[in-house]
A and B are shown apart, each in its own frame.
Chain A
């Protein structure tokens, strides 16, 4: 239980993230309704969480709706959601990714597809499993509307969850998305035996590169050095079970991208994202060597040796 009065919360998405958020919210004693298109009830879902397949029921249940669906369906889901919500709803997504060729932040997709204005995003190092089994963890939330960050904090902050708040929504969304790519690189580098010192140096460079790219997209630089930025990366150093890291390790082991994707439990957004990020950096004249290397790894164009020597080179 926490200090916040019980307030209904709706969650969209029956996958691992939807389940995780439902667990965290229900643990704090809030009436929680989960919308899922799957026929069966997720087996680790707490008993007090109700499940519905009716979006309108979800919209009636709560003002705060947490959106946890894969990025490739978010537009379609948001469009249906737009038919049942109105200007009073708060939409907050927990999707690590940017949409389409234009790298549109997911919060923008929510605004385009629904009448809602008060949108936000979740980020930070918490893994789905932390929330499901109840390990102490940290999440970040960002919205330009203090009402929204207040509502999310009310829903998720508790003895087992610290919620860190920011108003730089663009910063959080870009930071999370770019970190997703750095996680893959981290998994890859560890698998090819990059020693810790070099790993630290490489991640620092990656972080600075991500910061320059995000700033070109309108983020505040300091957001990259907050919980959803550097905090996320620090945690990943010892999160061996991060799906992105596993994907990276699989690539290092000689798997093709398609094979590596097939082995992953969660959809890894980074694979489609990285080429677009590299193009974006080029267009904005931002130096992005690390991201270009990650792109080369995804495409299978480079050998492990080339990657390793690339990390050592100076220009």
Chain B
């Protein structure tokens, strides 16, 4: 079924897509001179500092900058096309069905080897384990049905570099068609990763290039793919959440290509439906937690926060993490939200959009004027903003609270009670200072679970599989077991008859998953 997805024919369409992108970008260029000047200026400045490898690129833009004043308007337009084509070819990936088939077989085994490296012969059993420990939730049947009726844009939260691997694995397991996505060019420098990325339909995004012409090519490329039925994966948060919080604000650039693609396709005989599926990826442990939260605190704290140690992510850490994740059922939960159309209407199994009162709505009515589909940048930017807001609301509702989040929330609550009135940065300095008796800790966890359950009853959050119906002692046990031995500095250190609050940064990081729901401290809002 998944083999019917257009990505399996990508290579046949590749040059057509590139040319389509070039044509659209050049048609949309209102001021070729400005566009080229901006591109040349940005690129010369960037490449100046990087002699050697990219010399040829540097010279190309120097030559372009020099000639711009002399050449005619039509020649400038031709140059826009030339630069756009250069970028479009660089961005366009490749899809090799054999590599895809291989990777879906290899990936679980590779992951399961990571899980139990000593027991090579039992790869299959371990892969079964991964199945158990990675839980997928949400209206998967409907998403499968919709993927046959139109293009699905998957828009998950972003916490870790493991996200795309884990999400891809869950996708394949649930029989969802493969989705194309933009991957940072840095991931293509590793020859092994690069081979897979390139052949799995990932397109290359060079984050170092910042000028408008490049961004236009990138967005148009995404738009053309969506219009032609390629299911897409965006992380609309832009980068990994540094704080550990669920995204409350999104980068709208790529998301906007969903609306644009829909309008474009209305001009064709068979319009392409576009469906957006928000999802949350929830981890008991986050691979890069220590570095991420340090980044975050350095950013918001400026000089009030000093980075003490720099932790890097090495292979053995990945191995430890995966082994840790496997110890607890449901330690990674991927939860798909309700699919919607680009105008935030709910979508039913048969692809119909319905409004909040359940009336069928024709999504084309949002973008047609006197019966004709019209692109209107200001209007579409607003539709995209509202789509972003709806995705964030879905993130908050579909956040799955796991033991580590709740226990960190309870512990952080204790920290705040111990030092009332202190600001965040003062609070965080009290490492290894606060002792919590075991029964108090349990009571705090139980209280938080009760409040979380009350929110769950109102559909505002979700309790994780290991938390629902479990006694507070078991939740506390699960979190401390997961943390111990994974994070260098103990998060919650068992001591005589209770616990000592250890790494306060990590307590903040894990409790931040509660912030948006109002169950925990929200570092971005005022106290209370």
Contacts and interface: CB of A to CB of B under 8 A. Distances in A.
Tell me if chain B binds chain A.
yes
Contact of B361 (A79, A87, A118, A146): A87
Contacts of A114: 355, 357
A147 interface: yes
A88 B376 CA distance: 14
Contacts of B382: 144-145
A112 B356 contact: yes
A82 B359 contact: yes
Interface string A139-161: 00000111100000000000000
Interface string A281-299: 0000100000000000000
A89 to B, nearest CB: 8
B357 A79 contact: yes
A82 B376 contact: no
Contacts of B359: 82-83, 115
Interface in A104-119: 112-115, 117-118
A86 interface: yes
B393 to A, nearest CB: 13
A129 to B, nearest CB: 35
A87 B378 contact: no
A251 B34 CA distance: 64
Listed residue (B376, B379, B386) with the most chain A CB atoms within 10 angstroms of its CB: B379
A285 B356 CA distance: 33
B379 A147 contact: yes
A222 to B, nearest CB: 19
Nearest to B386: A117
A86 B365 contact: yes
Given A87-B365, A88-B365, A285-B526, A115 B378 contact: no
Contacts of B361: 86-87, 115
A87 B528 contact: no
B196 interface: no
B305 interface: no
B376 A147 contact: yes
Contact of B366 (A79, A117, A285): A117
Nearest to B364: A87
B10 to A, nearest CB: 33
B357 A145 contact: no
A144 B386 CA distance: 10
A287 B526 CA distance: 15
Interface in B355-391: 355-357, 359, 361-366, 368, 376, 378-379, 382-383, 385-386
Interface string A144-187: 11110000000000000000000000000000000000000000
A118 B355 CA distance: 14
Contacts of B343: 87, 117
Contacts, number: 46
Given A79-B357, A113-B357, A87 B379 contact: no
Contacts of A115: 345, 355, 359, 361, 365
Interface residues of A, number: 17
B345 A146 contact: no
A220 B365 CA distance: 31
B355 A82 contact: yes
A55 to B, nearest CB: 14
Contact of A145 (B344, B356, B379): B379
Contacts of A82: 355, 357, 359
Listed residue (A82, A115, A117, A285) with the most chain B CB atoms within 10 angstroms of its CB: A115
Given A115-B345, A115-B361, A88 B355 contact: no
B421 to A, nearest CB: 15
Contacts of A146: 378-379
A158 B382 CA distance: 28
Interface string A49-81: 000000000000000000000000000000100
B174 to A, nearest CB: 31
A104 to B, nearest CB: 13
A112 B345 CA distance: 11
Nearest to B527: A285
A82 B366 CA distance: 15
A86 B383 CA distance: 16
B362 A285 contact: no
B366 A87 contact: yes
Listed residue (A82, A86, A285) with the most chain B CB atoms within 10 angstroms of its CB: A86
B161 to A, nearest CB: 34
Interface in A195-253: none
A140 B336 CA distance: 42
Given A87-B365, A285-B526, A117 B378 contact: no
Contacts of A86: 361-362, 365
Contact of A117 (B376, B383, B528): B383
Interface in B381-406: 382-383, 385-386
A144 B381 CA distance: 10
A145 B368 CA distance: 15
A170 to B, nearest CB: 12
B80 to A, nearest CB: 28
A79 B366 CA distance: 19
A119 to B, nearest CB: 11
Nearest to B378: A146
Contacts of B376: 147
A90 to B, nearest CB: 11
A88 B356 CA distance: 17
A66 B343 CA distance: 22
Contact of B362 (A79, A87, A112, A113): A87
Contacts of A285: 526, 528
Nearest to B366: A87
A283 to B, nearest CB: 9
Nearest to B360: A115
B362 A145 contact: no
A49 B366 CA distance: 28
Nearest to B526: A285
Contacts of A88: 365-366, 368
Nearest to A114: B355
Contacts of A83: 359
Interface string A13-28: 0000000000000000
Nearest to B377: A146
Contacts of B528: 285
A118 B379 CA distance: 9
A149 to B, nearest CB: 10
Interface string A85-127: 0111000000000000000000000001111011000000000
Nearest to A112: B356
Nearest to A147: B379
B299 to A, nearest CB: 24
A145 B376 CA distance: 10
A22 B484 CA distance: 71
Contacts of A118: 379
Given A87-B362, A113-B357, A118-B379, 19 more contacts: A79-B357, A82-B355, A82-B357, A83-B359, A87-B364, A87-B366, A115-B345, A115-B359, A115-B361, A117-B343, A117-B344, A117-B383, A117-B386, A144-B382, A145-B378, A145-B379, A145-B382, A146-B379, A285-B526
Please provide the 10 A-B residue pairs with the shortest distance between their CB atoms, ordered closest to farther.
Answer: A87-B365, A87-B366, A115-B355, A115-B361, A86-B365, A88-B365, A146-B378, A144-B382, A112-B356, A145-B382
24 contacts: A82-B355, A82-B357, A86-B361, A87-B361, A87-B362, A87-B364, A87-B365, A87-B366, A88-B368, A112-B356, A113-B357, A115-B355, A115-B361, A115-B365, A117-B343, A117-B366, A118-B379, A144-B382, A145-B382, A146-B378, A146-B379, A147-B378, A285-B526, A285-B528
Interface of B: 343-345, 355-357, 359, 361-366, 368, 376, 378-379, 382-383, 385-386, 526, 528
